[in-house]
Chains A and B, each alone.
Chain A
Amino acid sequence: MEMIKLTIDKKPVVVKPGTTILDAASSIGIKIPTLCHMKLHDMGIENKPGGCRVCVVEVEGRRNLAPACVTKAEEGMDINTHSMRAINARRTVTELILSDHPAECLTCAKSGECELQDLAQELGIREIHYEGEQSHYREDTSPAIIREMDKCILCRRCEMMCNEVQTVGVLSAVNRGFDAVVAPAFEMNLDHSACTYCGQCVAVCPTGALTEVDHTGAVIRALSDPSKTVIVQTAPAVRAALGEEFDLEAGTLVTGKMTAALRRLGFDYVFDTDFAADLTIMEEGTEFLDRLNRHLKGDKDVQLPILTSCCPAWVKFFEHQFPDMKDIPSTARSPQQMFGAIAKTYFADKINVKREDLVVVSIMPCVAKKYESAREEFATDGNPDVDFAITTRELASLIKLANLKFNSLPEEDFDQPLGESTGAGVIFGATGGVIEAAVRTAYEIQTGKSLEKVDFEQLRGLEGVREATVDVDGLELRIGIAHGLGNARKLLEDIRSGKSNFHAIEIMSCPGGCIGGGGQPYHHGDDSVIKKRFEAIYKEDAGKAIRKSHENPHIVKLYEEFLGKPMSDKAHHLLHTNYFDRSNKIES
């Protein structure tokens, strides 16, 4: 390949054709400020509308300044990234953005994590020379996501995630000129739309325009109420990311410190969603084997593939977009909801607390979990199985609020009985993990043999759509895995058109699975973070004494004491659900 030679800030640089000025500069350590641009290299996700114009640089011989994020390097280019002309333009453009942005930093949820705030600091902006009308939009609060579009800077990242990555298509740029904004159709509220609450828009929003609904206040109130017993469950992906909020290297596992912190925050019992993940495997795995065996016997009423159902955004996605296929996913509830159902029955009885006095809080890497916990079918007499679902970020802010020195906390263990988990439960946090956990159990149940090697490498990875076969003692299980709803759509369309021959498919809405969830610490466009979390999850799995769900002693005990066997009537009532056709649920 012919390489391209150019000069940036008087330094020679050689790059591959097609490299942008931004990447070329970064290859020699020159940082050009950006705002709308975002590139997740490993995921193949890039947002570069070339709209904010913050990254403009001076290219010798060109009439106008060039945006570094979209201008390709050309042979012999002579670029000055920080000429006074470029700096002046950059500052002016930033001032313009600020002139149409509410000065609410003090109370903004995004303060401290805001890329616009950082940019203004970096450019040393102390005064906004332009004043005038500011855009004003109705605030939109849904069960999971808050839209305060006054703070939108039109970077279009959310629109790109919603349309190109997730293919949910709820958000689009609407209107034009000064009135342009990203919004759902007819500027309706999100909860009237087909939004899945996957939260990927929140994950990439550079400002406070899109944030999760904050439940920290409610959690604090519950914790300070002496009449309540407050228990907490923590999802597998949280422990792989929480440390980032405390300046720990991405991928640092903080399971023990997290447990300690939760205990110090005043939770009466600190449990683990991983336990419920093991329970999910019992139910979902059994359901799968049931369907599979009937299918193998030639039962035409049986639908295969079976699809996983732990991801609430994915559930809402197919309810809206593929209602004709709502009978294909497993009926098993997600681990969060299984936990809630067991906690408010089995465990409440055990500690002799009335359902209404037991508060179940979950710590989730996800914003859709807020919506899931609020779904009507997951409540008894109006009392929800899970009272509050807070994100990894919200937990971090609670820990900071309580003035806990997180990094110096001791490593502590979960409480029992709902704190015991296996490696299978842990890997729920990464794409491919649910299906791997299911295979570990299904293999042993189906064959009656003991699985020698529990690591199914062929199911792991960060590619968007993966296919693998697993040899179950002679039976070739064909497995599909997709993360990101756009990838899920491809598999679903294949199923609909009869092209699919998978036995089972795992689907996670977020890139990377739950580790890349919308409630995780902001990655700010650095997707190496997600990779490190991914590695941490498998490290935790490898370090677990028990790595198969059905070997979890407390799960075994739960069935013995309470549920009977998987798919029993009781299990059905508490641990399974059904889905709704929401295709006509768009209301204007």
Chain B
Amino acid sequence: MSKIKLAEHVIETVQAICAQYNNEEGELINVLHGTQSKLGYLPAEVQELIAKELDMSVAKVYGVVTFYSFFTMTPMGKHPISICTGTACYVRGAEQVLEEFKRQLKLEVGKTTDDGKFSISCLRCVGACGLAPVVMVGEKVYGRVSPQQVRKIISEYQDGCPSHAE
């Protein structure tokens, strides 16, 4: 892993978040949430900075980051694709849909395409079981998705059509 230097404004952002929680070690998870929502992910250098600000060991920060599936150390794609793998979606064929996304994008779960456009992740029940199987692209929810629809969904984002790119 090569070391990158954090930009000044990133450092300030992270420091501000830590300060918001009084630089308390017990607030680590809130700090990580705050940071990830601002930066999109939690690279090593940011974790080191957080450890320093909260006066705790970076190993512990990393231990927490890797424990919770919500936190990620890789930047997500511009259009993060999340496939619900809750039980309701599973029994209605979410697995096949996931396979199809993986196949079409030639991408593993948790990874981002080389052009940074798409990333695939699985998430637990989004509570839209009535629409199972459910796929989310960014904030947009697609319900009752069949493997056949996968190509169409991807193509909506392929040309960067602005109406969908929110």
* Residues on A facing B (Cβ under 8 Å): 163, 168-176, 183-186, 188, 193, 586-588
Contacts and interface: CB of A to CB of B under 8 A. Distances in A.
A588 B65 CA distance: 16
A175 B66 contact: yes
A171 B45 contact: no
A188 B62 CA distance: 11
A324 to B, nearest CB: 14
Nearest to B69: A176
A170 B59 contact: yes
A173 B63 contact: yes
B57 interface: yes
Q: Which of B1, B47, B56 has the most CB of A within 10 A?
A: B1
Contact of A174 (B44, B45, B51, B66): B66
A183 B67 CA distance: 13
A186 B63 contact: no
Contacts of B67: 174-176
A169 B60 contact: yes
B56 A586 contact: no
A139 to B, nearest CB: 18
Q: Which of B51, B58, B61, B67 has the most CB of A within 10 A?
A: B58
Contacts of B100: none
B63 A172 contact: yes
A172 B44 contact: no
A183 B63 CA distance: 9
Given A175-B67, A176-B66, A587-B3, A186 B60 contact: no
Interface in B45-100: 45, 47-48, 51, 56-63, 66-67
The 5 closest A-B pairs by CB, nearest first: A169-B57, A172-B63, A172-B59, A185-B62, A185-B58
A186 B57 contact: no
B56 A185 contact: no
The bracket for how many chain B residues form the interface is 10 to 19
A439 B75 CA distance: 59
Given A171-B59, A183-B59, 11 more contacts: A169-B57, A169-B58, A169-B60, A172-B63, A174-B59, A174-B63, A175-B67, A185-B59, A185-B62, A186-B62, A188-B1
B48 A172 contact: no
A184 B59 contact: yes
Contacts of A172: 57, 59-60, 62-63
Provide the main secondary structure of the chain B interface. helix
Provide the main secondary structure of the chain A interface. loop
B56 A169 contact: yes
B56 A186 contact: no
B159 to A, nearest CB: 37
A169 B60 CA distance: 7
Contacts of A184: 59
Contacts of B66: 174-176
B45 A588 contact: yes
Contacts of A170: 57, 59
Q: Which of B45, B59, B62 has the most CB of A within 10 A?
A: B59
A174 B61 CA distance: 9
Contacts of B58: 169, 185, 586
A364 to B, nearest CB: 27
A174 B71 CA distance: 13
Contacts of A171: 59
A587 B56 CA distance: 17
A354 B57 CA distance: 46
Nearest to B57: A169
Nearest to A193: B59
Interface string B105-148: 00000000000000000000000000000000000000000000
Contacts of A586: 48, 58
Interface in B3-35: 3
Contacts of A173: 63
B57 A163 contact: yes
A171 B58 CA distance: 9
A185 B3 contact: no
Contacts of A185: 44, 47-48, 51, 57-59, 61-62
Contacts of A174: 59, 62-63, 66-67
Contacts of B57: 163, 168-170, 172, 185
Contacts of B47: 185-186
Contacts of B1: 186, 188, 588
Contacts of A175: 66-67
B3 to A, nearest CB: 6
B59 A169 contact: yes
Nearest to A168: B57
A171 B45 CA distance: 18
A266 B105 CA distance: 66
A59 B135 CA distance: 48
A184 B62 CA distance: 8
A260 B47 CA distance: 53
Q: Which of A163, A173, A176, A588 has the most CB of B within 10 A?
A: A588
B48 A588 contact: yes
A303 B56 CA distance: 28
Contacts of B3: 587-588
B53 to A, nearest CB: 14
Contacts of B48: 185, 586, 588
B131 to A, nearest CB: 29
Nearest to B73: A186
